[in-house]
Amino acid sequence: MKKLQNKVAFITGASQGMGKSHASIYAKYGADLVLIDISDTVKIVAEELRQKYGIRVLAVKGNVTQPEEMKKIADQAQEYFGKIDILVCNAGVCRFAKFLESTDAEQDFHIDVNIKGAWHTSRAVIPHMIQSGGGSIVVMSSITGDLTSDPGEVAYALSKAALIGFTKSLAVEMAKYHIRVNAICPGFVLTPMAQQIAEQSNPANPEQVLTDMAEAIPLQRLANPDEIGELSAFLASEESSYITGTQIVIDGACTITETVSVGI
């Protein structure tokens, strides 16, 4: 049996980048999926995975910043599948802005999506996990904030560091319900967000930024999104049954050495 067979995974930010890779890897291991994104593209992703792996997929356009919306989607998923076993809090944003020039709106944007998004989604899904007797929550944090940062990333770093505290505290509180909570802290991953960061750092030559990133990493490359998805699937499965309340760095060793700055 595949390691996520008969499991139902609820994944936010699932239309592209790491969220899409989470969905693909989970489907490969047999999980049925609830895919949420603010873009209608999530429905195309859902159909691709349904056709490729023969799994059941519920795709819903939704905004993680809206608590009532997330509760409605979680209730819909519970009714459709009868349970939710796994939650991947993946939806996230990153915008560069110098601290003294940044606006409250830019600060709120990161807090609302990155922090409150994980909060609202977890609040919506956890009651269904408790009802089912347990589960696993994977929170997508970052090496940025808790371990390192670049210029212009104060708001992003704040939000991602906060998710570590969220993960650890929630893990302690949820342990009695047999719900494990862990955070993944990626370094540079070749995603649309990385491309966006490169374009913000050097609009004239974003490809050079990506090259500089890779050359500064001891493994000499950015991560493939599927490598993050594989780690996520491990944390969601029984293979990690005694792992909770931790953060796992997956960065090609870039936080060990001094890395190239990609800020502004």
CA 167 to CA 202: how far, in whole Å? 34
Q: Which residue has the tokens 């050495």?
A: 257
29 noted as active-site residue: no
- Of the candidates 202, 166, 179, 162, which has an alpha carbon nearest to the alpha carbon of residue 126? 179
Are 27 and 4 in contact by the 8 Å Cβ rule? The answer is no
Distances (CA, A) of 160 to 35, 115, 140, 175, 243: 22, 8, 8, 23, 21
- Of the listed 53, 80, 156, 242, which one is catalytic? 156
Checking DSSP bridges between strand 135-140 and strand 179-186, what pairing results, if any? parallel
Q: Is 139 helix (H, G, I), strand (E, B) or coil?
A: strand
Rounded to the nearest 10 degrees, the angle between the axes of helix 225-236 and helix 17-28 is 50
Q: How far is CA 65 from the centre of its chain?
A: 15
Task: List, in order, residues 6 or more apart from 100 with CB less than 8 Å away.
Answer: none
Q: How far is CA 156 from the centre of its chain?
A: 14
Residues known to be catalytic: 156
